[in-house]
Amino acid sequence: MVIEQTEFNKVFLFKQHIHKDHRGTFVETFNLDELKEKGIKINFVRDCISTSKKNVLRGIHYDNKTWKLIQCMFGKIYFVVVDMRKDSSQYLKWQHFILSDENRHQVLVPPNFGNGHLVLSENCIFHYKMSEYYDPENEKTLKWDDPRVNISWPIKEPILSEKDKNAKYL
């Protein structure tokens, strides 16, 4: 696995080694020792999976405690990370990544960074590891099209949950 620093401090892109042969592929998606070697000390306590169809946009959600290790196990997504740290010089800056079952990339998202994704393929399976148990009282939602953030989503009218539709602008 190759772990690369992104534009944001503490947000990392993980590029897996994909082993292919006549039978198919093999990919190691998590190795605690490799994280420790990079100085990343996280204890994951939950794994979650969601499925979505094309043009579904989920997020942008965040809290002040949870690390998330994100991957697209099947399909292809446009994945966005937003710096929500008010004291940061990068506050409300965003970066996107294409995550797919072909590239097997993962993104490590720290606390106080929002994340959301748009499904680009017909269907997707989205997997994430979390360092904290779900706490709905602590979760915040940033409106997907907030003009202060101005994310360049590759769609104008995504399919949204009621929670994401009703999120407030900053």
> Is 134 among the residues known to form the active site?
no
Q: Could you confirm whether 128 is annotated as catalytic?
A: yes
The residues, any chain, with a CB within 8 Å of residue 156's CB and separated by 6 or more, are none
Sheet holding 123-130, edge to edge: 2-5, 12-15, 106-109, 68-74, 123-130, 46-53
First-to-final CA distance of the chain: 37
Q: Which one from 19, 78, 128, 133 is the annotated catalytic residue?
A: 128
Please identify which of the residues 19, 61, 105, 127 carries the catalytic annotation.
Answer: 61
Residue positions annotated with a catalytic role: 61, 128
